[in-house]
Structure 1
């Protein structure tokens, strides 16, 4: 009857556990299966692909796979039909021991996109373990003087199964002297006792043989037996009696070695040696208890021996026997119930499985980087673990299942700012004091091409002297790309365009790798003052990114053009009546260079009459105007033909020169003057005979009128014929003005204000300088210094003086 009540209680508790488990499963949101232990290979477990909402056709392309920590290959999935089946033998007792719950936790991982599912497979117990007694034959000594209802405790059988399969019932073979008594304590532990129901008489029966059978509640039932050999002893008829039949003790699992557990005390009503008691553990006590506890045979003190571990064994039952020294010896029995109390002595264990490393810097938020599982061997609050991450990292932990987390991306990444992260996961339990453990994972950020090459400044200005050697290095451009590897490999190229009638690539080139810019041909300041173009920098990413920089190359002038004389009339007729300071002729010259190189000065090399008498000549030339004027009043002593040699010199280094020969004819005051300037030195003008003064006057008037008309027509024609593309290339509108200074003066060159001068022989001059010297004029009279300077317009028409 007791056994029946106990079985009903066990069944009720088992049903309650199953209901709680079903309620938990309904709320967990995870796929759950069950499979019996010892199932054969290929046993169907569940249609896992269908239950997870996955198509069969995408299992292989998405790399469907199982991950089960420490479980080997017990279960497998058929990728053809998506069925989860048993792959190898599953032994529930090997996996979970006597734990009420036994499950295999599987992680199902699929890629593209990455998904992680948790599957729990319950391993159901089957009745595959028979009850086992500690000994096959147990010898028991009973004195013939034992009173009725005397008890002898028996060690029950153990069953490795759980639940109903481990629910044992006992049956004793038929005997006239003994029956079996079963009692259940608060811990649902059964105490078996052999009870004497009829007095023994050694002379009648010296030995009794009994068979104790243990049967579990499985289907089919399994049994275990032990043979009880009872020897009936004579003489000492009082057995030692303990103060308590059960001693209950609670111990902390970290108790020191040698600590007193309990002191048992037994008394014997006999006298003498029959009342002297010796304590010992029962012979049925397993070796695990003997390795953990020891008993003092004289005092009955039980002390710890070795370290106790709650995670290894939570509860101990120790059978203690007290023998007297009678002949034969009699014994009494008691049970020590030792319950261990858990302390927080186990730190959490962290396991990290990397999935998406390195992670691209453009990965979307929520990308799973790693799977993290934690485990704490302690129980209750001591085994409850919480996880946290290193602060200030762009990741977070997402709880996916009990003690399972996913490390996911929480904010945007930028490899150029932070190329990698050291992420530390800290697991802390709820004990007092709490214990913690850390594990780290190094997250590398993979580069994507999200940065275009950038120049230090949008515009670069360089200066190059004209007449450079072909292939000369002008400058080196450099663009920085903060990306990595191919995404940061920069190549340079010209942004092609037209410069006047020619392509830009005919002037300059850029090295694709180094960014060095070279001039492909000699540059001519007179042809091209400013070369402005763009250089493009592109990286090797996919798709490539790029940027441009504007390069302004100013071509600096060199003194490579000698002054050029402008043609004038055939000669000058100078009246002898002229006084000092009168302009009688003018030498006109231009220089194709710019600045100082185009600033001209005039010098009279062979003044008339100077060589003959050493006296002062009647003429001089303006230092910067080229005007020939009288230095004194002309008289009859002056030769009628004056030949003047004028040296025209620029201010370049070294200076370049040209000479002009001016022929003057001194005539009476009634005749008009006529001048001539000739370009090459030594070119003598043909003398004109003074046949008739009226003829000269008529010719002079016609010549002046014709020359004025031609000059006006030429000026209008040049203004109208200016090419529309003149602003391209070096002459583009909006170019900055150059301002230059030197010891001899200052001048400015503007791209907006240009003056054209046409000589009789060459193309129009397009880059003349307007300058105003800061130094005083050369030697001469006060009237010369007061003459108006013709620096505003270098190109002038010839004027005749009458």
Structure 2
């Protein structure tokens, strides 16, 4: 068949293309070179293979672009969408190439239409992923203890699967006083290791030596490998002692006396001579406790106790015994002695108290848990069985909650004011024979609740205050006691407000809220207000608050602040002038005139006396005045020598301190008988009858004074007897209340503690004051008439002037010139009531 020229030309063209492709394939062999590190992750970029081969991305699929490899074709893959060569699976250089210096993956890239083959070489670069490895993890070397110094022992080094610098190894040996490491380098990749002995070995001192050899490669970071080198020091003695048993079992009671024989061990050695002479000892590996409790005789092998054995501390002991011969080198044998201790009842129970709920409220409900109690006993069996009891007669009990666990609970009501705390003793007793016991104490404090109101020592107090006191002066202190505690016992005081006449009580007195001190806010006036009665309230600070009241009776004592006033003459001065005519014929005792004076004060301050001032020039005065009557009378018969005009200066004084006075002038004109006013016979008779009546009155006064004095003496005797009986009875039960004696400017006053008769003042509740007054009189007059007048005045002083506030029950009081005594009974918080002094602020 003859081919046409066109077909021949097509054949030629195809042949030419084939030759060109072959030439291109030969020229492209190994034309691309990439590198990738081993252990790269899946998808790691390697190269743009399509672009580097000059292929269009769009023709990769139509031309059947594919990659073939002789070694593990699945390690790398090409993405046909972008023409990128990437890592498809894990690449291990050591697995691919071993320790070869060069390691590559050869790829063949084939495309069709026309058929072309490209060669691609991907170099796998080494990373430091393999640590050095020794042949064995532990290497045992046996050195006779007699080996000489500087003896060398070769060691096998480590190997590293990596290449290059990653496989360059360095070695280091742990510090040891016996051995050191010697390294000799043969070439770049070869090293020789030697273990060199630097110190003599002693098997009895050091039987084994542990060393650690560390190999480090040159990678970054470097990896290491280790091998433990165990050096055993060999004894030259070839036979060791042996025991007839490897384990001995012994039982001992605890608290066995010191030196008790535990057991005697025996070992034998088949050697002869000194190699068979055995020395016994306790193993150095045994605990320090074994060495403290036991000792062994090195010759006989007897083991004895040392010190005290305690079952609760250690129930058993494992004693390792070594039998060493005297050979060179010496060899040894071992045995173990198991010692079991038997318990005895030698430990007292232990009581532990926890979770204290203290203090406990005094109104806590029954069953309230106060504390948790646990008991224990270090003994065992019946010796460790414990029972608990409580102190009797206390408001608590024990409730068992679990074995050896109890709750201390409230069993009856509490009252802090009776018992503020309890000492609860918990006693634990074991079941041993004889039994042992232990105790623990719980101090249970009872917390207060506000269930007690403040209480005053007395329901009322009587206070004596001098009038004209300074404003704000302290007159008394009230004190209430509260049986509660802390804020429940903090008492504050206040006045119970009321009206005193037209004014409020608070305008007269005030009370300090904390101290209870009562102050007079203004000067008091006895002539205006003799008695001020009011109440003070005391309240505690509890919630709710409780309180009580006390009554204070404040008696305003008189002071001598009013001068005498002559009746009908005014307040004194030059205007107090009286003119009288006296006949020269009158005899002694003739009454010229009688002056009367009054004093607004009371008591001694209102008791007045009269006296005439001496005449001028020392002239003999024929007149005198009654000391307490104010009657001016003649002392003798008048004669012609007496001056016709007499000027008498009369001085009226009270008995206060200081003395206040008033004066009056009596002008007496002496006239002859014919000039004197005539007195009728009837007037004379009236004067005579008046004088007789005065004499009768004086007699009655004397009788009354005697009767009152007798009654007073009898009262004193009865009172003294009663007082002695009360003191003796009080002495049997406790000390009595003290009686305070205080000075007063008005005389001696007495306030009886035994309230037998009650008298009423003009204001407030009835009073119970028992008073009497006995003044000390000045030197009495010389004449009978003056003594009679003095007796009259004494009676008035004793009975009339001091009948204050309608008093019916009288106590004896005494007054002298130098000292004035006020006795009042009734203590207030450890202090007795006393009169207020002006300087008591």
Task: Please give the range of the TM-score, normalised by the shorter of the 2 chains.
Answer: 0.3 to 0.5
Tell me the TM-score normalized by structure 1. 0.43
Tell me the TM-score normalized by structure 2. 0.41
**Higher CA-based Rg:** 2
